[in-house]
A and B are shown apart, each in its own frame.
Chain A
Amino acid sequence: MNVFYDHFERHAHGEGLKGHSTHYCAGCGHGIVHRDLADTIGELGIQDRTVLISPVGCSVFAYYYFDVGNSQAAHGRAPAVALGHKLANPEAVVISYQGDGDLASIGLAETISIAQMGLPITVIFINNAVYGMTGGQMAPTTLLGQKTVTSPQGRQPAMGKPLRMAELIAQLDGPVYVERVALFEARQRVKAKKAIQKALRLQMEGRGYAFVEILSECPTHLKMSPEATEEWVRTQMEPVFPLGVKKDLAVEPWFDRHAPSFSPEAVLGLSGAEPATVRTAARHRLAPRLGTKDLSLKLAGAGGDGAQIAALLLTRAAIDEGFDSTHIPSYGPESRGGTSYADVHIAEEEVLNPAAPDPHVLIAFNAPSLAKFAPAVREGGLIIYDRTMITEPPAFPPNRRVLAVPCTQLAVDLGRPVAKNVVALGALQAATDLLPAAGLLSTMRHVFKDKSSLISLNEAAFAAGQQVVDPESE
């Protein structure tokens, strides 16, 4: 089975010689690897499973020749593209064919990270110690002293010594098979083809990632005859890039992916969706005492005070009640112990503006939050603060209702200081009748359904907050 196209139509529309000749220079090693690869694909019977990723470099046009699925990648990104293909269709045999600039320079991060992932793809690496397509510049694999157009005096150690990719890849845990082979004589070419066969077989059998580095000839940019270039690879390159198997693990087939599921039940279950229920009770009126159809609240404290959880409980309870509601968290840069405040809106119809720069209600758990946000509470609004933590409250603007609630103390009395946020919600409910108490409690039970030990505690904390609100405390 010939895996080359009959006619290279993609090569300048297949006109004249280009219909059957490659674009490679005379004596270039790419053509030999192409033949070995094409023959191997045919012999393994995987022509109808293969996706070949062409890189950027001289082999950018590999898709002119191989009669398989073809994708052409950006410079250095072929392994990432290969991984995308492999995960999209695990049945495909995906080959990332790359040169030294592509694989070992601009694509080094992709090369190493995807090798370490170890998913079964095959990387064919053509190392000819020079950039070809861009015109003979220094490659990461250029030898010390080797003259190129960007190392005209010869490569110096400070330009980086030649990078031994096969050894580098072999010391990673991901790959199962790494070998360096060459093309400079018949015996080496036989080994090269065997290495390609083995690498593809490992992928077909789902055993893992394989990497074949092939020392190749670039007569054009080495400015030598093809024969002299073969000799140069043998005498100059090979000592720096020793041939041989660098890694060969015996691994049982393990790569076995199922087709993705599109089951509605699975998707809904994982999304946390619940079956629709029929509402019978008449809807609660939103905080009639505050006289608004779009109520804004700010809950503020130190990180860990529970302002965000209380805000989310309010939002969820409001939505469960049939209102529109939003919550926007804002954290300081620290994960713990920084500032934390939440803007909540609850609207009868639609929350227009979800921010709460001048809230109707402020709940403050620490002194800095109270000092910062109390002046912003709008006229006729409500301020609830934790009296346990804030012993010297600031002067409040007039015409604001202020409730000093010993949130932390009440929670400590219940044995869980962190329940102070729920104490504050109890106080809020008693002071405003914002949402029905039964609804809030029901939402709370639902939210904590996986932590049932917290439910009775939070119910007690909510009740404690409700009870403490009486006209005397204002």
Chain B
Amino acid sequence: MPSVTTNSRPKPFLDPAYCKGCLRCVEACPKGCISPGTRINPATGLVPVEINLEICNGCGLCISACPEPFGLRTSPATPGAELEREFQIKDPSKLFGRKVVDLHESPGLPDEEIELPACEPLVLKGTYAAAIGALLAGCRHVFGYPITPSTEGAELMAKILPHLDGAFVQAVSEVAAVNMMYGAGGAGVPSMTFTSSPGFSLMLEGISYMIGAEIPGVFVNIMRGGPGLGNIGPEQADIKLACRGLGHGNTHALVLAPSTPQEMLDLTMEAFALSFRYRNPVVILGDGYLGQMTGQVKLPTHLRKPGRPAWAVWGDRSHRQNLICSIHLAEPDLEEHNRRLNAKYAEIASREQRSDLYRCEDAEVLVIACNTPARMAKGAVEAARRQGIKAGLLRPISLWPFPGDALAEAIRHVRQIIMVEASPGQLENELRLTLSHAGIVPPPIAAVRHFGGVLPQESEILAKISEFREALA
């Protein structure tokens, strides 16, 4: 073997099993040491290059041309080992020594609850209340795109967040905004957006990815009239979308429906906790009225300083092994992933039902409504009671999961259900699905429905309740 003492640079080394025979190294080598192979490697079915190191001067150009991480590399510590390697796949770590990785699994940092001094109630509109709720929940990252009637929430965040060293980004579109949430949420920080129906439609792609990759995030959707551009009046016609249509694939998210500015704050705060508890987006569905409505808002006793989840892709040593990803290429893997998601959905469905019952104990007419229409309905129930009709109100606060347990309880004496909604029966569909799955045959269901920015009014709900006075007498 000729001497190579003129140059002590390390020579290239190749395990033929990791060569795809692309020949980029052949072109790169100035000395002609490498030639196209002539033998099929039985392990790979490919034809690796052949290397003659006799005149190699260790310039390394072949190594820099090789596209394979374990392809051409500098020689192992024990040259000659390659002889026994031919025709078998060898783990490079056995040749080169195992890489020293001193990673330890991140323990995660817990949230901290910090006590707040007692304060006077605030007088806030619904969107502002949601924004303050998010701040109290520890959200310092807000991504959005302006759309009426939700924008004021984002505007308030744009004003406040710089003073808290947070970030408000007005994205180029809702599509970009939701993917910024994917990034921030993937890093384990609480993030949110304010949007309204057409904008929410645009975000659905990203929501599906967030659910698939199990990323938390809170979406405040102040629903407006549709379809299409519709108008900026209040509607509830995104219930279907939020409960049944969060993008492609097997998706679900907790959907919460506040009915007062106070609940806009309380439920937004809670949404962040739920979002991290289940590693899943949470949707707050408000209507255009609620977004604009001003009312009194009492502050909680504590604010939350978020910790850092163990699963976060934070970009430090203790989180380095983490991956945020919605791809599972192998069918059994994706099936398993979906089974895990289904188990999570089932847990949410059984543990996170929320509702408010008003005068339901002996109700014979049960009015069911959420958001602002529930307030009109409450007025109507009160008026009906004054007329001697045993009316009650079930107000679902979680729309998905629909509060089936409370419904089963409330429905015992009920002889007539009246659905009140600003949508073509989307809440009723949730009710009927819930009853159907529970095997409950419901009493007759009537409806008061409005569309296009018109909300059901107390007088017509009362009139509908009164229609059943004689039948119930």
* A residues adjacent to B (C-beta < 8 A): 2, 4, 6-7, 10, 12-13, 16-17, 19-22, 24-32, 34-36, 38, 47-51, 53-54, 60-61, 63, 65, 67-74, 77, 80-89, 91-94, 109-110, 112-114, 117, 185-186, 189-190, 193, 219, 225-227, 230, 257-262, 264, 266-268, 270-277, 312, 315-316, 319, 324-329, 333, 351-355, 357-358
**Complex interface: stretch among B221-229, B271-279, B292-300, B436-444:** B292-300
Residues of chain A with a CB closer than 8 A to B384's CB: none
Does B55 sit at the interface, judged by CB under 8 A? no
Residues of chain A with a CB closer than 8 A to B380's CB: 353
Does B109 sit at the interface, judged by CB under 8 A? no
**Nearest 9 pairs between A and B by C-beta?**
A84-B183, A31-B67, A92-B315, A353-B379, A27-B22, A88-B187, A113-B172, A80-B179, A26-B20
Does B408 sit at the interface, judged by CB under 8 A? no
**Residues B323 and A21 in contact, CB atoms below 8 Å apart:** no
A223 CB to closest chain B CB, in angstroms? 15
CA distance A352 to B379 in the complex (A): 5
The interface bits of chain B over 8-30 (1 if a CB of A lies within 8 angstroms of the residue's CB, else 0) are 00000000011011111011100
Does B89 sit at the interface, judged by CB under 8 A? yes
CA distance A110 to B205 in the complex (A): 15
A417 CB to closest chain B CB, in angstroms? 26
Contact residues of B: prevailing secondary structure: mixed
A9 CB to closest chain B CB, in angstroms? 10
Knowing A87-B184, A189-B64, the reply to whether A109 touches B315 (Cβ < 8 A) is: no
Contact residues of A: prevailing secondary structure: mixed
Interface centre among B24, B71, B89, B115 (most CB of A within 10 A): B24
Residues of chain A with a CB closer than 8 A to B322's CB: 69-70
Size of B's binding interface in residues, CB under 8 A? 114
CA distance A192 to B35 in the complex (A): 26
**Residues A84 and B122 in contact, CB atoms below 8 Å apart:** no
Does B316 sit at the interface, judged by CB under 8 A? yes
Interface members, chain B 261-299 (any A CB < 8 Å): 261, 289, 292-296, 299
**Residues A71 and B67 in contact, CB atoms below 8 Å apart:** no
Does B141 sit at the interface, judged by CB under 8 A? yes
Residues of chain A with a CB closer than 8 A to B89's CB: 16-17, 20
**Residues B206 and A77 in contact, CB atoms below 8 Å apart:** yes
**Residues A48 and B313 in contact, CB atoms below 8 Å apart:** no
Given contacts A17-B17, A54-B325, 17 further A-B contacts (CB under 8 A): A7-B93, A21-B20, A27-B24, A31-B66, A50-B315, A73-B209, A77-B182, A81-B183, A84-B183, A84-B191, A85-B313, A87-B183, A87-B184, A113-B176, A227-B27, A267-B164, A353-B378
**Complex interface: stretch among B339-347, B410-418, B453-461:** B453-461
**Residues B136 and A267 in contact, CB atoms below 8 Å apart:** yes
Does B81 sit at the interface, judged by CB under 8 A? no
Residues of chain A with a CB closer than 8 A to B115's CB: 264
Knowing A7-B93, A34-B69, A272-B122, the reply to whether A49 touches B209 (Cβ < 8 A) is: no
CA distance A67 to B323 in the complex (A): 10
Residues of chain B with a CB closer than 8 A to A32's CB: 24, 64-67
B295 CB to closest chain A CB, in angstroms? 4
B412 CB to closest chain A CB, in angstroms? 25
Per a CB cutoff under 8 Å, which of B24, B165, B315 touches A260?
B165
**Residues A267 and B320 in contact, CB atoms below 8 Å apart:** no
**Residues B119 and A268 in contact, CB atoms below 8 Å apart:** yes
Residue of A nearest to B323 (CB): A70
Residues of chain B with a CB closer than 8 A to A225's CB: 23
CA distance A357 to B460 in the complex (A): 11
**Residues A264 and B114 in contact, CB atoms below 8 Å apart:** yes
Residues of chain A with a CB closer than 8 A to B160's CB: 270-271
**Residues B182 and A80 in contact, CB atoms below 8 Å apart:** yes
Knowing A109-B172, A186-B28, the reply to whether A6 touches B179 (Cβ < 8 A) is: no
Knowing A69-B320, A109-B175, A273-B299, the reply to whether A268 touches B117 (Cβ < 8 A) is: yes
Interface centre among B114, B323, B326, B457 (most CB of A within 10 A): B323
CA distance A404 to B268 in the complex (A): 45
Does B143 sit at the interface, judged by CB under 8 A? yes
The interface bits of chain B over 152-166 (1 if a CB of A lies within 8 angstroms of the residue's CB, else 0) are 000000001001111
Knowing A261-B165, A328-B289, the reply to whether A84 touches B69 (Cβ < 8 A) is: no
Per a CB cutoff under 8 Å, which of A36, A71, A85, A271 touches B325?
A71
Interface centre among A48, A351, A353 (most CB of B within 10 A): A353
B177 CB to closest chain A CB, in angstroms? 8
**Residues B69 and A35 in contact, CB atoms below 8 Å apart:** yes
Knowing A6-B98, A74-B206, A273-B299, the reply to whether A88 touches B316 (Cβ < 8 A) is: no
Knowing A109-B172, A275-B118, the reply to whether A20 touches B320 (Cβ < 8 A) is: no
Residue of A nearest to B261 (CB): A326
The interface bits of chain B over 293-314 (1 if a CB of A lies within 8 angstroms of the residue's CB, else 0) are 1111001000111000000011
**Residues A271 and B458 in contact, CB atoms below 8 Å apart:** no
CA distance A362 to B72 in the complex (A): 85
The interface bits of chain B over 174-214 (1 if a CB of A lies within 8 angstroms of the residue's CB, else 0) are 01110111111111110100000000000001100100010
**Residues B315 and A69 in contact, CB atoms below 8 Å apart:** yes
**Residues B330 and A21 in contact, CB atoms below 8 Å apart:** no
A271 CB to closest chain B CB, in angstroms? 5
**Residues A81 and B375 in contact, CB atoms below 8 Å apart:** no
Knowing A87-B141, A275-B117, A354-B293, the reply to whether A35 touches B67 (Cβ < 8 A) is: yes
Knowing A31-B69, A48-B317, the reply to whether A326 touches B295 (Cβ < 8 A) is: yes
**Residues B120 and A274 in contact, CB atoms below 8 Å apart:** yes
Residue of A nearest to B326 (CB): A72
CA distance A275 to B117 in the complex (A): 7
Residues of chain B with a CB closer than 8 A to A352's CB: 375, 378-379, 382, 458
